[in-house]
Amino acid sequence: MLKNPYRLSDLLMTITVWFSAALVVGAFFWLLSDLALHGIAKLNWSCLVSAPENAGRDGGIGPILVSTLLILGVALLMTIPLGLGTAVYLSEYSSGALARSIRMSLDVLAGVPSIVFGLFGNALFCIWLGLGFSILSGGLTLACMMLPIFIRSTEAGLTAVATEWRHGAAALGLTQAAALWHVLLPAAAPAITAGLMLSIGRALAETAALIFTSGYVDRMPDSLSDSGRALSVHIYDLSMNVTGGDQSAYGAALVLIVLLVVINNVAASLADRFLSQRITTS
Amino acid sequence: MSEVGDSQKIWGWILALCMAAGLNSAALADAQKLVLTGSSTIAPLALEIGKHFEKLNPGVRVDVQSGGSTRGVIDARVGLADVGMASRALKQEERDLIAHRIAMDGIGIILHQKNPVKSLNDDQIRAIYTGKITNWQQLGGEDRKITVVNKAEGRSTLELFLHHFLLKNPQIRAHVVIGDNQQGIKTVVGNVGAIGYVSIGTAEYEEAHGMPIHLLPMAGVPATVANVRAGRFPLSRPLNLLSKGTPTGLSKRFIEFAQSAAVDDLVTAQYFVPLAR
């Protein structure tokens, strides 16, 4: 095979692979350049810090950016500890019927349409728990949506860690908790980071679940119990509901993409640093 | 060693979060807050009116949430909202609420600009929407299939449309079901054979800004904002604020402000039609 690398089947294979990759990258750049072309004129520093005016046609997106980050912050604060805990339980502690039913419910939850989460979050957090339309309600609802993705990918990462590592840790006299903290979680770091990024992506793109929980108010939030409009809700409203809001929608969408890239990189480097520290200091 | 430090940090965060939430809900009780929910058509207008109301009344906060007219009715009824928003007249069984009109909106039938059909009567529109006429050729147009664009259940434009044409929703043979006005316009723009119905203010604006659509006259009356204001256009709807019983206090002041001439420019800026005074 090495003597004749340009056999027809190999050539076809190469072309197919290259074509697929080019198509994916092309689609992304098409989308990005379309957004940039329409949206760049709308963007400047004052637009990022000032409040929207005239239903979002004029003014900026300052309060909306703050609300978006707060909602995401609340969601991550809930998702990361709960998700890590559940994933560890699934991979390290249980293999019985309970684990099977947890896995099944997580897989079903991961496929539930977001509007269902929105109505659920509205009923549970806004009305029953009395949080009202608030950043807290929105963040908690998002956490419900992010948990299945995060848990399943973290669990997959933990399961993939070779059993020898666990034996090695035990042989060195590490407690189960220490082995988890110093060996298993750091070893599963790439999967955890990937799950985190997927969850953040889903959260930032979410519209339907947030209209009914964190709401529509575009004022600068004073606290987590204020209603605050997320960037994706703002884009949806501008493009679907506000006559003449398209320009601003493009601008906001461009900001959303940039925000996604920045947050993903920050999250990835934080997770890397935190988890690799475990291995070196232990 | 560092293990202890890190877990302390995490607990610190959790504690801080709880405290922030607790403190803030205490602070919130002092502010006077007015909650509006309902029609996504009215929401952007109500948001603007709310901002002006906040400026005139320091210390007052107006929170606007969208979600549809029927939601506005339900929330106003059970008290989840101080004031509901509905972009239609109240139904018979909703008369426990009081409607306060703040503006008018007309609904116009739109076609793609390349469609040569320039007018349709009520019977023809009824036949198109019930699937009895399926090609523009039958109406003097080109040989092209008709794409029927209908609104989603719960939309007040749908209810007004059905009411005017004496139709029931299950009778309609829709090819595309849409939610908001902008989506309706975008659907017709993308399909030369499409017919849809949207808010006249929105359609007039988009037509003037180069979107390839045209508005059909209804019963000989051109679909213009001016005709809606004068009450001449047959397919028009009121934009209402809803209150449970006679409004009092903050709700009363807000509703009076929303009905005053002071908001006319805000109404016009959202492509609606101010009340005739």
Note the CATH number of domain B105-229.
3.40.190.10
Answer yes or no: is pLDDT of B209 > 90.
Answer: no
Reference B211, options B232, B233, B235, B188; nearest CA is: B188
- Looking at domain B11-104+238-269, its CATH class is alpha beta
Task: Kindly determine whether residue A133 and residue B65, on different chains, have CB atoms separated by under 8 Å.
Answer: yes
Least CB-CB distance to A55: which of B47, B67, B209? B47
The DSSP code sequence of B120-189 is --HHHHHHHHTTS--BGGGGTS-S-B-EEEEEPTT-HHHHHHHHHTT--GGG---SEEE-SHHHHHHHHH
Answer yes or no: is pLDDT of B178 > 90.
Answer: no
Task: Give domain status of residue A1, yes or no.
Answer: no
Nearest chain B alpha carbon to A74: B17
Measured in angstroms, the CA of A281 and the nearest CA of chain B are apart by 8
Other beta carbons within 10 Å of A160: 12
CATH number of the domain at A91, please. 1.10.3720.10
Equal fold, B11-104+238-269 vs B105-229: yes
Which helix (H) or strand (E) element contains residue A8?
A: helix A8-39
d(CA B5, CA B9): 6
Answer yes or no: is pLDDT of B149 > 50.
Answer: yes
Task: Kindly determine whether residue B182 and residue A216, on different chains, have CB atoms separated by under 8 Å.
Answer: no
A33-63: burial string, b at 16+ Cβ within 10 Å, e else: eebbebbeebbeeebeeeebebbbbebbbbb
d(CA B208, CA A51): 28
Task: Give domain status of residue A84, yes or no.
Answer: yes
Task: Kindly determine whether residue B17 and residue A244, on different chains, have CB atoms separated by under 8 Å.
Answer: no
Task: Give domain status of residue A31, yes or no.
Answer: no
**Domain membership of residue A74 as a residue range:** 47-281
Least CB-CB distance to B65: which of A136, A216, A277? A216
- Which residues does A141 contact at the CB level (< 8 Å), separation at least 6? A117, A118, A120, A121, A125, A209, A210, A213, A214
User: What pLDDT is recorded for position B14?
Assistant: 52
User: What pLDDT is recorded for position A189?
Assistant: 87
Q: Which of A252-256, B159-163, B188-192, B265-269 bottoms out in mean pLDDT, i.e. has the lowest?
A: B159-163
Task: Give domain status of residue A129, yes or no.
Answer: yes
Q: Which residues in chain A have their CB less than 8 angstroms from residue B45's CB?
A: 55
Cβ contact B203:B235 at 8 Å: no
d(CA A203, CA A198): 9
Most A CBs within 10 Å: which of B3, B48, B183, B198, as the mutation test of the A interface?
Answer: B3
A156-197: pLDDT as tens digits: 999 998 889 889 988 999 898 888 888 888 888 888 988 999
Given CB atoms, is B230 within the 8 Å cutoff of chain A?
Answer: no
Other beta carbons within 10 Å of A205: 14
Task: Give domain status of residue A14, yes or no.
Answer: no
Cβ contact B34:B82 at 8 Å: yes
User: What pLDDT is recorded for position A40?
Assistant: 85
Least CB-CB distance to B66: which of A81, A211, A225? A211
Answer yes or no: is pLDDT of A77 > 90.
Answer: yes
Cβ contact A65:A260 at 8 Å: no
Cβ contact B212:B114 at 8 Å: yes
d(CA B138, CA B124): 10
Q: Are strands B97-112 and B194-199 parallel, antiparallel or unpaired?
A: antiparallel
Task: Give domain status of residue A26, yes or no.
Answer: no
d(CA B85, CA B244): 12
Query: What are the residue boundaries of the structural domains of chain B, listed by start?
Result: 11-104+238-269, 105-229
Cβ contact B236:B106 at 8 Å: yes
Given CB atoms, is B67 within the 8 Å cutoff of chain A?
Answer: yes
Give pTM, 2 decimals: 0.77
| ipTM for the complex shown | 0.78
d(CA B71, CA B202): 23
Q: In the beta sheet, which residues pair with residue B145? A: B135
Cα–Cα distances (Å) from A100 to A82, A83, A109, B32, in that order, read 18, 16, 14, 50
Reference A63, options A209, A208, A228, A203; nearest CA is: A228
User: What pLDDT is recorded for position B76?
Assistant: 92
How many separate domains does chain A show? 1
Helices (H), chain B: 2-28, 43-56, 69-78, 122-129, 156-164, 181-189, 200-208, 225-229, 249-259, 264-269
Average pLDDT over residues A29-39: 89
Helices vs strands, H then E, count in chain A? 13, 2
d(CA A223, CA A70): 9
Task: Give domain status of residue A79, yes or no.
Answer: yes
Reference B214, options B114, B127, B89, B94; nearest CA is: B114
